[in-house]
Structure 1
Amino acid sequence: MVVLQLEPVQPYSFEATTRRLAHFEKTAYQFREGFFYRTLHLKDRPLVVGIGWDGAQILVRAEEELSEADRQCLKGMIRRMFSLDVELGPFYEQMKKEPRLAPIFESRRGLHFVLDPTLYECLIKTIISQQLNLAFAATLIERLIERAGEKIPFREEWLPVFPTPSQVAGLEYEDLQRLQFNRRKAEYVIDISRKIVAGELDLEGMKTLPDQLAIDQLVSLRGVGRWTAECLLLFGMGRSDLLPAADIGLRNALKKAYGLDQQPTEADVRQWGENWTPWRSYATFYLWDYLSGS
């Protein structure tokens, strides 16, 4: 067994950051003996890792021996996924100027994004989740993984591995329809996977693009609207200054926070959000967390 130690930039709350994993990411993460376990593709091979906390730093546990190169690769993946290098001190200082919102943000001090390990996984899960409740979306994601992915042994059980673009590209639309995907969503998921395999779509290359240019390229894909593109930049890339002003959840959270009689408009949200730059992503994330009551 290999145990890696990763120190986050403070303030960092592992408890607050991982609380959402237990509630909303049950398909990807399994909680065992104080560690959140999931499978990752490490240099094109699947690996089970556990992520825990010793009170001061992240502990990353791998059941198999790793080369030094693999250790460094895994450290980089976990630092990115758990936002260990994001310094939120300036965010809290800036939000002190928002009297209605400051208590909401301060009570969640140290809460960070947990990103998906690849942009492909994030995009496919987001497309599946479009216009569905969380429970049914999770069911469809689990069915896709079961149908197209593989499983690897972990102690006395087998853990699922999110499928690769090649594995999904090999499916037919009817394969997903039999799993209760509607026809259009089956086409979106498989066609995007086929574009990646054919070299027509480079998701990882979009990491270097400015926000709006990345969004413009994403919405040109069939099945990807602005909401889906913004979710990819938020939960896949960890961009800090996105404002999905049309999102109903965000607008409902602001209605609750400001004690309004009706939901604010998209224009209202954009106007308020000007005061949150360059931290609009985190303001949105904290307000979603506030609305969910988690």
Structure 2
Amino acid sequence: MATLLETDAVLKRGLAALAKADPVMARLADEGIVPQLRKRPPGFEGLAWIVVGQQVSTASATAIWGRLRAILEPATPEAFLRLSDESLRTAGLSAGKVRTLRAVATEIVEGRLPLHELHSHPADEAHSLLTRVKGIGPWTADVYLLFCLGYPDAFPSGDLAVQEAARLAYGLEQRPDAKALNVLAERWRPWRGVAAKVLWAYYRAAKAREGAPT
């Protein structure tokens, strides 16, 4: 398995490799686009945080997560399954996210999703184990592998912000879809996750220049 993205030193290695392999990545680095390591805890808490943040703004996700954590103590799948749908909806979770998190918690408790052992699996295998859970799609799996487990080549090609950042950085006429972005990302292996972090940072910088919320 490749070195995990767990320290700033590894992040710098990835950034240097990207700059060497791709002139656009080198230009972004010269412009000061340097991402932070930004890790989340692995396990149920980390995966739940990612699900909560799907398709909502950062501010909304933070608020919902705070309300959920206030009633979820400890942050374990067993404790989650004890909460009622009403209390979860009051915290701000949509019906779909409640179903997804109940499915995740059930799979963990019943031993079909070895979440605390995923770090010992190859990335593709870990990705497959996650996406077998109803409600966990490729984006959620890739973000979990990248931010919670530190897989440096995990790449959420379906992320709209990453796609839009690629359009801006590479001067593309249209925002690339996941398939087109995966083709572009081949040049970044085995550091596609670091490239995603660069593109997220570039997207935030672009939005800040426009004065738009991120």
Equivalent pairs counted in the alignment come to: 202
* CA shift in 2, pair 1:115/1:190, >3 Å: same
Cα separation, 2, equivalents of 1:87 and 1:258: 22
2:66 is the counterpart of 1:142: yes
Residue identity in the other structure for 2:40: D
What displacement does 1:253 show? 0.4
Larger mean CA deviation between 98-107 and 133-142 belongs to 98-107
**Secondary structure, aligned partner of 1:101:** helix
**Secondary structure, aligned partner of 1:262:** coil
What displacement does 1:137 show? 1.6
Cα separation, 2, equivalents of 1:84 and 1:261: 34
For residues 20-35 of structure 1, the aligned pairs below 5 Å read: none
Q: Is the 8 A contact 1:227 1:247 kept in 2?
A: yes
- Cα deviation per residue 1:30-71 (whole Å; 9 max; x = unaligned)? xxxxxxxxxxxxxxxxxxxxxxxxxxxxxxxxxxxxxxxxxx
Q: Is the 8 A contact 2:152 2:190 kept in 1?
A: yes
2:96 is the counterpart of 1:189: no
Cα separation, 2, equivalents of 1:231 and 1:210: 15
* CA shift in 2, pair 1:148/1:261, >3 Å: same
**Quick check: which one's strand share is greater?**
1
TM-score (norm 1): 0.62
* CA shift in 2, pair 1:223/1:167, >3 Å: same
Q: Is the 8 A contact 2:165 2:203 kept in 1?
A: yes
Cα separation, 2, equivalents of 1:213 and 1:81: 18
2:147 is the counterpart of 1:235: yes
Cα separation, 1, equivalents of 2:128 and 2:26: 33
**Secondary structure, aligned partner of 1:194:** helix
What displacement does 1:287 show? 0.8
What displacement does 1:289 show? 0.7
Given candidates 94, 117, 125, the residue that maps to 2:49 is 125
Cα separation, 1, equivalents of 2:67 and 2:17: 44
Query: RCO higher in 1 or 2 (8 Å CA, sep ≥ 6)?
Result: 2
What displacement does 1:101 show? 2.4
Q: Is the 8 A contact 1:173 1:190 kept in 2?
A: no
Q: Structure 2 stretches of 5 or more lacking a match?
A: 209-214
Given candidates 201, 215, 224, the residue that maps to 2:136 is 224
Cα separation, 1, equivalents of 2:66 and 2:14: 38
* CA shift in 2, pair 1:204/1:283, >3 Å: same
TM-score (norm 2): 0.83
2:51 is the counterpart of 1:167: no
Q: Is the 8 A contact 2:78 2:109 kept in 1?
A: yes
Cα separation, 2, equivalents of 1:200 and 1:273: 32
* CA shift in 2, pair 1:267/1:196, >3 Å: closer
Residue identity in the other structure for 1:193: A
Identity, in percent, stands at 27
Cα separation, 1, equivalents of 2:11 and 2:162: 23
Residue identity in the other structure for 1:102: A
Cα separation, 2, equivalents of 1:81 and 1:281: 9
* CA shift in 2, pair 1:266/1:197, >3 Å: closer
Name the structure 2 match of 1:28: none
Given candidates 5, 24, 27, the residue that maps to 1:103 is 27
Q: Is the 8 A contact 2:143 2:155 kept in 1?
A: no
Cα separation, 2, equivalents of 1:244 and 1:90: 17
Cα separation, 1, equivalents of 2:53 and 2:104: 15
Q: Is the 8 A contact 1:240 1:278 kept in 2?
A: yes
What displacement does 1:82 show? 5.3
Cα separation, 2, equivalents of 1:81 and 1:264: 26
Cα separation, 1, equivalents of 2:11 and 2:103: 38
Cα separation, 2, equivalents of 1:198 and 1:267: 35
Q: Is the 8 A contact 1:241 1:280 kept in 2?
A: yes
Q: CA RMSD in A?
A: 2.3
Q: Is the 8 A contact 1:113 1:238 kept in 2?
A: no
* CA shift in 2, pair 1:87/1:173, >3 Å: closer
Q: Structure 1 stretches of 5 or more lacking a match?
A: 1-79, 151-162
Q: Which of 1 and 2 has greater Rg?
A: 1
